[in-house]
Each structure stands twice: as structure tokens, then as C-alpha cells.
Amino acid sequence: MPHELTLVAFILHIGGGTIGLISGTVAAITPKGGGLHRRAGIVFVVSMLVMAAFACYLGTVIPEQLVNVVIGVFAAYLVATG
């Protein structure tokens, strides 16, 4: 059984990604510049940064998953500069 902190990290990683997918879809289908588009975009950015941060954490604590640290940093870079 994984350590409790790792289990919480998995939940936050998956939850952040799920919320990112939903809010990204809302942002993509609403009119650009509108209130809903802006709120969905902010939720998207925050949730994707949470997802990427916990991907980096999980990549360091799970053996042989170090490549996920690089992927998490790259995902955070893309979201932050997008």
C-alpha cells in the first residue's frame, strides 16, 4: 500500500488533470474575453499547475519514474507561458 502522502498526491494529480480537462473545454467553447471564458481559463491554469507539480513529486518518490519529473516541468512551463 502506498504511503498516505503519495496517495494524496495521486488524488491531487488526477483531480487537477480532470478539472483541467473540464475547465479547458469550457474555456474553448465559450466566447473569448467573456467572464466565463476568463474564469474557466484561470481554473485551467491553476489546476494544470497543480497537476504538473504533483507529477514532479510523484516522479521523485516512485522508483524508476524520474522521466515524469521532466514531463511535469515541461507541462508547467507550457501552461505558465501559454
Percentage of the chain beyond pLDDT 90 is 80
In tens, the pLDDT along 4-25 reads: 889 999 999 999 999 999 999 9
CA–CA separation, 66 and 5 (whole Å)? 18
Q: Are 70 and 36 in contact (CB under 8 A)?
A: no
- pTM score of the predicted model: 0.87
The pLDDT, as a whole number, for residue 2 is 65
Count of the separate structural domains present in the chain = 1
Q: CA dist 73 to 19, 38, 41, 58, Å?
A: 19, 24, 20, 12
Residue 74's domain spans which residues?
Answer: 4-81
